[in-house]
Amino acid sequence: MKLRLILFLWVVAIADAGWFTRRNQPRHVVAQAQAGRVACPNNIESLQAVVKYAHDNGKKIAVAGAQYSQGGQTQFPGAIQIDMTCLNKIVNIDLVNKQITVEAGITWAEILRAIDPLGLSILAMQSYNAFSVGGSIGVNAHGQNIHDGQVMNTIISLDVVKADGSLVQVGPARHTNLFSCVVGGYGLCGIIARATLQLTDNNMVEKKYKIMPTSAYPAYFKNKILLNKRVQLHSARLSVDPRALFNELIAITYYHVDGGRTIEALHHKKDSLKDLRDQWLFGLMRKYNWAKHYRFIAEKLIFEKPEIISRNNAMNWTLSMLEYRSLMYKDILQEYFVPVDALPKFLVLAREIIRKNNVNILNATIRYVPADDITLMSYAPEPRFAIVLYINVGKRPADERHTKNWTQKLIDAAFEVGGTFYLPYGLYATREQVHEGYPGFQELIELKQRKFDPQETFVNQLYATYA
């Protein structure tokens, strides 16, 4: 057993050291839509033309960005598929006010590459950089920034294409009904074409970590992290060792480093050794529980070392380490939001469900999200912890039924402690659970059908399943 641990740590230590687009005029994009193909407009006029064509001819539209949603939130049978990735330009960078205007198909990685040489940083984004800005706003994504929280809180204004093809600018204080319906609205009330976002300064941050029992984390977070203005980014990683599932965690905090240090440049090249290491580790963890045990030991001893890096590099996470292909299995994400003080109770309930149903948890992290009383589809009516689960499941019909069964139990556990669950993932929840977890969903449906999209031009599988 000791030899296995030594070999395991030796391998991870070695690793640790070291669309094609074209200029489419509106008529060309409409021709694509008429022919039933994917339309990829690369200017707003072309996007408007496709939407107007669909509206005037009684056709449906499904909107897709980077297409990482896992439950058909960007798809619908027979609908015109609008691919937003051709709308990917930076329109303007306002250095005085530290704001950026971008088209909705651009990714966070592309923004980071553009603003890093200017000494600027993204205020709040998803934890991985491959997602599109429009998609992140459409699900009201969140990341590691505990003070600004959801992407919603960085929005200055949005240019939205309505169901009739017209363009309107919305914001927190302008056309607020449509704003609250579009942000976190999964593309059901309008298409985000362009966004102006608040930026902040890039600076050096010191990464520190602390190991503790999970039961101690809420008090630690409230007393040591939440009120500390030097904290720029924060998250926690839970142990997924089946013998001590969720009992312990590593709290990871990035503290602002005062001036006097040269800001390092953005790391453009991915770390292939680390990606291969993590792919190897996940491969072992999909098959062997002992690998989960040793991984947490390795994290405590090797992975999480204090270091000083730039804020942009701390946020510049790629998805390459999660690459996985299998005929029989797939990796899925799920996320549950619970009140801060209810975290230990939820994890006890979740542990029992996971063990009883033999759920193969590969990774579990905790994020913090401030309260959101603006969007109709708010998952945090009060401040909450987000528990993000990365899970390996089977693809067979029997496996899908099993996944659906235990997912609904986890959702009920979140409800039991006053929480809810996230919607960009597999559509395993019941209709009743969706409406219980998102009381504003019915209001969004009524606004869509009565005011913003009475012909139901904008559709997806989420809407078809639960509306």
Using one digit for the tens of pLDDT, what is the confidence trace for 110-143?
999 999 999 999 999 988 888 999 999 999 999 9
Highest mean pLDDT among 4-8, 146-150, 299-303, 428-432: 428-432
Percent of the chain predicted with pLDDT > 70: 90
What is the reported pLDDT for 22?
Answer: 36
Tokens, residue 322: 């999660």
Average pLDDT for residues 343-365, to the nearest whole number? 97
337 vs 9: which has the higher pLDDT:
337
The answer to whether the CB of 423 falls within 8 A of the CB of 444 is: no
Q: Picking from 46-50, 170-174, 263-267, which range would have the lowest pLDDT averaged per residue?
A: 263-267
Q: Tell whether the model's pLDDT for residue 23 goes beyond 80.
A: no
Q: Picking from 155-164, 322-331, 361-370, 451-460, which range would have the lowest pLDDT averaged per residue?
A: 322-331
**Crossing angle for the helix pair 272-287 and 2-17, nearest 10 degrees?**
150
What is the reported pLDDT for 16?
Answer: 46
Residues 403-459 have pLDDT tens digits of 999 999 999 999 999 999 999 999 999 999 999 999 999 999 999 999 999 999 999
Tokens, residue 340: 């801060």
Backbone phi and psi for residue 244, each to the nearest 5 degrees, phi listed first: -145, 45
Q: Categorize the per-residue pLDDT at 18 as very low, low, confident or very high, splitting at 50, 70 and 90.
A: very low
Q: Categorize the per-residue pLDDT at 14 as very low, low, confident or very high, splitting at 50, 70 and 90.
A: very low
Nearest CA among 465, 467, 462 for reference residue 63: 462
Q: Categorize the per-residue pLDDT at 28 as very low, low, confident or very high, splitting at 50, 70 and 90.
A: low
What is the reported pLDDT for 34?
Answer: 53
What is the reported pLDDT for 279?
Answer: 80
Tally helices (H) and strands (E) across the chain.
15, 16
User: DSSP character for 232?
Assistant: E
Q: Tell whether the model's pLDDT for residue 177 goes beyond 60.
A: yes
Fold topology of 204-425: Alpha-Beta Plaits (3.30.70)
Q: Please give the Cα distance from 467 to 444 (Å, whole number).
A: 10
Taking all residues of the chain, what is their mean pLDDT, rounded to a whole number? 90
